[in-house]
Structure 1
Amino acid sequence: MIAFAALRTLLIAAMASGLSFGATRAADDFDLSPQQPGRLHAARNEAAIAAIPGEFKFVTPGKFTIAVSPGGPPLATYATDAKTVVGADPDYAYAIADSLGLTLEIVPVAWIDWPLGLASGKYDAVISNVGVTEQRKEKFDFSTYRQGLHGFFVKSDSPIASIKQPKDAAGLRIIVGAGTNQERILVKWSDQDVAAGLKPIELQYYDDEAASLLALRSGRADVIVQPHAQLVFIAARDKNIKRVGTLSAGWPDRSDVAITTRKGSGLAEALTVATNGLIKDGSYAKILDHWHLSEEALPASETNPPGLPKY
């Protein structure tokens, strides 16, 4: 058991310090240290505190306990000490806890485990890039805090300057994940291009990220489409790809990422008020800018907005 724990720690440390060779090379753009000296501290928001229902009981009195899945920078990852969770989502969670006059408690979880853990009361909320969907709204409440975006990225020397609409992608060779939401959208884009007399989009699929990036760099593909935040970090790490556009996860509508709470717990409205306070005083923009995610900013937080439909 001790040997297994030691091996696990070494593996986590390797991922935190590398992500293939990344953290060191991205150090100028992203701080993945456990100390996080640049983390913003927010002021108490009395309106948000007053919006917490009197009957609501936090998992631990005086603490805001949240689940985060450390899936990778810049959203959430293990720091260089292989145990501290850092990133945009943790920083936002700290600001929300400050607004509520509480101490933050982060519980790292596997992505697949958060719904059961939240429903069973292991934590007060989930702040881990959870998108609002109509199916999830049947079991959970949401307070939005970021746009759900995918990114169009190309080689740094690519002549492609901008992709904003289907016609901009006509005839391009685009790398996309099989079975993903972005694949579904790009199939629709390609159909629109063909209907307009343009060339179809050629979708390409690879087994992993390394193979995808190699295909892009070698010229076998023109564009890669992945969740925007992931590609922001890769661009900073590798210095050889650039963003030429973003794609809403809910195209043609906006799709939002939200703090997730238990259905009917009453906490969602207080979290929405807290987020809007952070937006108003500029703290929110500073957090996103610190992690190079300003493109994902929302004009305002909403409680339980329309989500992605069931497919």
Structure 2
Amino acid sequence: MPTPVAPLRAPALAAVLLLALSACADPEAQGAAESGGAGGESPFNLAAEQDRVRAEAVPEIAGLVPEEIREDGALTVGHSSGGAPPLAFYADDDETVIGVETDVAQLVADVLDLEYRPEATGWDNLFLSVESGRYEAVFSNVTVTEERKDLFDFATYRVDTVSFEAATGHGFDEIAEPADIAGLSVAVGSGTNQEEILLRWDQENQDAGLEPADLQYYQTDSDTYLALQSGRIDLYLGPTPSASYHVEVARETEIVGTISGGGEVRAEIAAMTLKDNGLVEAVNAALDEVIGSGRYQEVLERWAVDGEAVTESEINPPGLPRS
């Protein structure tokens, strides 16, 4: 049975973010950050030229790459175009994808002695593109689930945590369990593991006779935060790195609770490859190599997500249970 993840405290995350070095997200959020928004500038470098942390090729590990994938000498990696800093998002040229996900993927490609070829697409298309063979791997904050393991292989590289964000001065106590969201309106991304957590919590509350939560869905982060500031919603549940970034840049919200991306169980973020094509073993070995060399830690510290670091990569660990 996976073990619960200890909550990450907002003050510690904030302190790390203020020391971070590089990036931002969609053009609207980026504009707000550069103009100061409600009080801050991005702690990250938004330029397309990122001066990424790099790794050396390791022939023994590169030799694990299946021949059909090695033929063109490149690793084509999918990233979500709908991401938010500091995960995977557009640089200030509105074309180049930057963030912790791209930097980890670059390290893996380096060790495998392959050219790193990033491509950005919509979240749902990431999975279809791996199935079709367009992408050889995906690095995009993907959580391991038992259902996804039917079609894909996974090599883990981060612990998955999510955070509740509220407008400053909200008056809420810490959000830590299902009863804490009873009667509240909560924004969440459709089709995400965060949504599954809220649906599960809400059903548990209703079974216990508590007031139901009102789940809200918005197309963009800017719409979500406008609703949060105007009081149309009480909370927003999203990835901890993005929530922490927004808190520090906008200075309009605060984190009021952090939980595992699996709710009551440990959740893992992983690189995703096609099931049984042999690539996952090479990716796993490359991740262990950069973890051991310290390059991985440099990348996570650069993007202020070292609170989600792992000490080794695992292939296909227990995933979130089927819904």
Superposition map of 1:1-311 within 5 A:
16-19=26-29, 21-24=31-34, 25=36, 27-37=41-51, 39-53=52-66, 55-58=67-70, 60-61=72-73, 63-74=74-85, 75-160=87-172, 162-166=174-178, 169=181, 173-177=185-189, 180-190=192-202, 200=211, 202-208=213-219, 209-219=221-231, 221-311=233-323
Q: CA deviation at 1:169?
A: 4.8
Contact 2:33 2:42 in 1 (8 A): no
When residues 282 and 81 of structure 1 are mapped into structure 2, their CA distance, relative to the original with a 3 A threshold, is same
Q: CA deviation at 1:259?
A: 1.2
Q: Distance in 2 between matches of 1:302 and 1:71?
A: 27
Q: Mark the runs of 5 or more structure 1 residues left unpaired by the alignment.
A: 1-14
Q: CA deviation at 1:303?
A: 0.7
Q: CA deviation at 1:90?
A: 0.8
Contact 2:61 2:282 in 1 (8 A): yes
Q: Distance in 2 between matches of 1:224 and 1:122?
A: 33
Q: CA deviation at 1:146?
A: 1.9
Contact 2:155 2:280 in 1 (8 A): yes
SS in 1 for 2:276: coil
**Deviation per residue, 1:195-249 (Å, 9 max, x gap):** 789x656334254444432343344544321233332332233121122332323
Q: CA deviation at 1:87?
A: 1.2
**Deviation per residue, 1:265-297 (Å, 9 max, x gap):** 211112112112222333222222222223332
User: Aligned partner of 1:140: which letter?
Assistant: F
When residues 119 and 23 of structure 1 are mapped into structure 2, their CA distance, relative to the original with a 3 A threshold, is same
Q: Distance in 2 between matches of 1:47 and 1:293?
A: 30
User: Aligned partner of 2:46: which letter?
Assistant: L
Give the length in aligned residue pairs.
293
Q: Distance in 1 between matches of 2:151 and 2:191?
A: 24
Q: Distance in 2 between matches of 1:190 and 1:120?
A: 36
TM-score, normalised relative to structure 2: 0.77
Q: Distance in 1 between matches of 2:294 and 2:177?
A: 31
SS in 2 for 1:57: helix
User: Aligned partner of 1:18: which letter?
Assistant: E
Q: Distance in 1 between matches of 2:27 and 2:226?
A: 21
Contact 1:97 1:103 in 2 (8 A): yes
User: Aligned partner of 2:57: which letter?
Assistant: R
User: Aligned partner of 1:288: which letter?
Assistant: L
Q: CA deviation at 1:36?
A: 1.0
SS in 2 for 1:224: strand
Contact 2:42 2:249 in 1 (8 A): no
**Farther off after superposition, 75-84 or 22-31:** 22-31
**Farther off after superposition, 179-188 or 295-304:** 179-188
When residues 178 and 104 of structure 1 are mapped into structure 2, their CA distance, relative to the original with a 3 A threshold, is closer
SS in 2 for 1:18: helix
TM-score, normalised relative to structure 1: 0.79
SS in 1 for 2:242: helix
**Farther off after superposition, 100-109 or 183-192:** 183-192
SS in 2 for 1:242: strand
SS in 2 for 1:104: strand
Q: Distance in 2 between matches of 1:195 and 1:109?
A: 39
When residues 21 and 249 of structure 1 are mapped into structure 2, their CA distance, relative to the original with a 3 A threshold, is same
When residues 187 and 108 of structure 1 are mapped into structure 2, their CA distance, relative to the original with a 3 A threshold, is closer
What is the CA RMSD across the aligned residues, in angstroms? 3.0
Contact 2:77 2:138 in 1 (8 A): yes
When residues 98 and 165 of structure 1 are mapped into structure 2, their CA distance, relative to the original with a 3 A threshold, is same
**Farther off after superposition, 259-268 or 178-187:** 178-187
Q: Mark the runs of 5 or more structure 2 residues left unpaired by the alignment.
A: 1-24
Contact 1:276 1:300 in 2 (8 A): yes
SS in 2 for 1:106: strand
